[in-house]
Structure 1
């Protein structure tokens, strides 16, 4: 294999790529979103500058992918935080947990998603939509929402998931230094909202050292939604370089 051939590959192993080099299209992507109020000081401790916080809110999300280009079905969940950057409102991707190795690696290498392996699940059980996250045998999160309780306006559903998202891209050097440390931005495009619902919800977070979602404690449930969409994820681009920042 020549040097030029090596450069054409995006990841190792060179002869067995884990993901395609193009924007991913998702079909029947199902969301359970629970927005809650948390401790302001705990939130400020995990949101990096130059991102700004208006209210101490967190959105816990569980996403069941009906079909994703290059990966097939899988499930992920995590926490996102409403923020502002340079006057633009968006969400900071704080933590994400997946049950698919290829999608986890693609999110970290090709983009800047803070993805790790976990065992999330989303299912309907006796009138409740239940989203859970386990780390090994330990329960980390349980979210429940009354199933298809009240219709949610399609435009409101679109606005909940179409906001710009920010994440931190870190590429370590070989001696423990950093080669890349950027704040990045992306957004969802080509959205088709197929279903949208709202209703009462509950959320429990359990302390775990490897999945510290409970470090942002649940003080009050603000809202909940259940949304089914088709969408495309746009590539990320850097908007702030931590290595050159003062």
Structure 2
């Protein structure tokens, strides 16, 4: 294999592709979202500048991926923090947990999604929509919402999940350990069709875990919740701030 042939491969391992190198289409993606108020000091400790926090809110999510091009179905859970950048509203992706290896490595390598191991689930139980996250045998989060309680406007639902998303991309040099890349990047959901949207009473419990520290952003008050089913595409990331360029 020549050097030019090596460079034409987009990922490791060279001869065994793990994921397709293109925009990803999600069909029948189902969300359980619980927006809650948390400790503002805890938020300031984890949100990187130049992002700004207006309100001490967190959106906890469980996403069941019905069908994903190149990956198949899986379930994911995480925390997104409402922020602004130069006055533009968006969300900072603080944590993402899932048990799909391909989706984990593509999210980290092709983009900057903070994906790590976890087992999430979304199900209906006696009139409640239940979202859970486990790390190994230990429960990390449990969210419940009344199932299909009140209809939510479809445009309002689309607006909730299509705000710009910000993440931090870190790439170290394998020899020196110094950073090759340290960037704040932005992406956004596009080509979206919301098929169902609901809201209703909800509750959220977070449990302390050293390797999945969701509870470091404690639940002080549940503000709102939504249950959304949609088809969508994730657009590629773009750099909006270079931390190494400041030095």
- Give the aligned partner of residue 150 of structure 1: 150
SS at match of 1:46: coil
How far apart in 1 are the matches of 2:155 and 2:84? 21
Is 1:161–2:161 an aligned residue pair?
yes
1:223-242 matched pairs, under 5 angstroms:
223-242=224-243
How far apart in 2 are the matches of 1:43 and 1:7? 40
Task: Kindly state the Cα deviation for residue 113 of structure 1 after the two structures are TM-superposed.
Answer: 0.4
How far apart in 2 are the matches of 1:176 and 1:126? 52
How far apart in 2 are the matches of 1:149 and 1:87? 34
RMSD: 0.7
1:48-67 matched pairs, under 5 angstroms:
48-67=48-67
Is 1:23–2:23 an aligned residue pair?
yes
- Give the aligned partner of residue 132 of structure 1: 132
- Give the aligned partner of residue 114 of structure 1: 114
Runs of 4+ in 1 over 3 A off after TM superposition: none
**1:219-238 Cα deviation digits (max 9, x unpaired):** 00000000000000000011
How far apart in 2 are the matches of 1:162 and 1:221? 21
How far apart in 2 are the matches of 1:98 and 1:137? 14
TM-score, with normalisation over the residues of structure 2? 0.99
1:1-246 matched pairs, under 5 angstroms:
1-174=1-174, 175-245=176-246
SS at match of 1:107: helix
Task: Kindly state the Cα deviation for residue 46 of structure 1 after the two structures are TM-superposed.
Answer: 0.2
Unmatched 5+ residue regions in structure 1?
none
How far apart in 2 are the matches of 1:222 and 1:49? 25
Unmatched 5+ residue regions in structure 2?
none
Task: Kindly state the Cα deviation for residue 117 of structure 1 after the two structures are TM-superposed.
Answer: 1.2
Task: Kindly state the Cα deviation for residue 190 of structure 1 after the two structures are TM-superposed.
Answer: 0.3
Task: Kindly state the Cα deviation for residue 157 of structure 1 after the two structures are TM-superposed.
Answer: 0.2
SS at match of 2:49: coil
How far apart in 2 are the matches of 1:43 and 1:229? 29
How far apart in 2 are the matches of 1:152 and 1:43? 28
Task: Kindly state the Cα deviation for residue 94 of structure 1 after the two structures are TM-superposed.
Answer: 0.3
SS at match of 1:155: helix
Matched pairs, number: 246
**1:17-39 Cα deviation digits (max 9, x unpaired):** 11111100000000000000000
How far apart in 1 are the matches of 2:171 and 2:107? 13
